[in-house]
Amino acid sequence: MLKLHDLYFKPFISEQEIDTAVQNMVNAVAKDLEDEMPVFVGILNGSFMFVSDFVKKYPKPCEVTFIKLASYEGVKSTEDIQRLIGLTQDLTGRTVVILEDIIDSGKTLEEVHRIFKNENVKDLIIATLFYKPEAYDKDFKLHYVGIEIPNKFIVGYGLDYDGLGRDLPDVYQLKTTQHMTNIVLFGPPGAGKGTQADFLKEKYDLVHISTGDVFRYNIKNETALGMLAKSYMDKGELVPDQVTIDMLNKEVEKNADAKGFIFDGFPRTNAQAKALDDLMDSKDSQINAMVALEVDDEVLVERLLKRGETSGRADDADESIIRNRIKEYYNKTAILKDYYSAQDKYFGVDGVGSIEEITVRLNSVIDKL
């Protein structure tokens, strides 16, 4: 994932694929031009990288020059009028090959045809690395097209978003969904996970997805997935991950406008973590962090015993049961800590202190995501 200014981009076309496309274009042009010496004309700024790679691969002698689009001065109009400038060479009788990084609406290409109309060139050949057929509404022939792409904004390999991204060797595509903050929240029993989840939900406008709640909801309402899950549970079998993922998918889709999600109680295994990554990926999104509240065992035991005194919860009254639950938590989460650490997404947060202090620590982690 890539962030330029306020927008997020995802990997789209690799350096390798671009290299292959450029090579194919070079081969086709060189073959068609035979022994004609072309003048390659790049349209700045976007085409600098393409032109450079193209002419390095070009197997025969050639000339290279550039022209540039500039805002037309002296015209006061809301419509931004752009004119191509910089054509100083006499191109009479020459074979001109325009090298464009991208053809979108075709406005630039129209401008190219306008300025070459009176140049008496022998041939005006158009070659573009990227082409958006859905956006193109002109009739000019495109002689060579590298890669056809959908009508979505891209950056990299010479193309920019407001000045940034030209230097990238790969091409990235604008993400259609806005940036979400998706957190997998962990905490041992007694760490105050529920309390903190409520604060996070409020502050960041996130949707809290507790897998336990989702299960109970689906079973209680006898949804198709709930019935399916129940059929496994009735046989004493584990509910397959895919059923759980399908339920989570429904929750995510129900909240399509959410700023993000807090996943609670899922994933529990490597396979589930991978499945959750795939789910988020299919939504053009991702898990940004595993946030785990870290509290010393002795503090937890003390907290839970104290809670047991007032809540009457049996499992909070017995120290050995409490210690077992804590141990089990660490056994289960160790795998996930490794999984998310490998992606640089594990954030341990000190869970000892007042509720407010812990909230502040959590916020400082999430604000940086």
Number of neighbouring beta carbons within 10 Å of residue 302: 14
Site string for ligand IMP, 96-115 (x = CB under 6 A): ------xxxxxxxx------
Whether residue 195 is annotated as binding a ligand: the answer is yes
156 binds ligand IMP (CB under 6 A): no
**Which residues are within 8 A (CB) of 62 and not within 5 positions of it... i.e. 6 or more apart?**
37, 38, 39, 40, 55
> Do 86 and 143 contact (CB within 8 A), yes or no?
no
On whether 272 is known to bind a ligand per the annotation, the reply is yes
Instruction: Tell me the closest approach of the beta carbon of residue 96 to ligand IMP, in angstroms.
Output: 18
When binding is defined by CB under 6 A, the residue of 159, 180, 197, 336 that contacts ligand IMP is 159
Scored b (16 or more CB within 10 A) or e, 190-201 reads: bbbbeebbebbe
Give start and end residues of each alpha helix (H) in the chain. 15-33, 48-57, 107-116, 193-204, 211-220, 224-234, 241-254, 270-282, 297-311, 319-342, 355-367
Q: How far is the CB of 201 from Mg ion (least distance, A)?
A: 45
**Stretch binding ligand IMP (CB under 6 A), from 28-36, 70-78, 150-158, 208-216:** 150-158
Binding region for ligand IMP (CB under 6 A) out of 149-157, 257-265, 303-311, 341-349: 149-157
| Interface pick for Mg ion out of 42, 46, 156, 351 (rule CB under 5 A) | 46
Q: What b/e string do you get for 33-61 counting C-beta neighbours within 10 Å, with b at 16 or more?
A: beeeebbbbbbbbbbbbbbebbbeebeee
- Coil, helix or strand for 356? helix
| Binding-residue total with ligand IMP (CB under 6 A) | 13
How far is Cα of residue 359 from the mean position of the Cα atoms in its chain? 28
Site string for Mg ion, 3-42 (x = CB under 5 A): ----------------------------------------
Binding site for Mg ion (CB under 5 A): 43, 46
Known binding positions for ATP: 190-195, 307, 353
Known binding positions: 190-195, 211, 216, 237-239, 265-268, 272, 307, 313, 325, 353
Binding site for ligand IMP (CB under 6 A): 46, 102-109, 153-155, 159
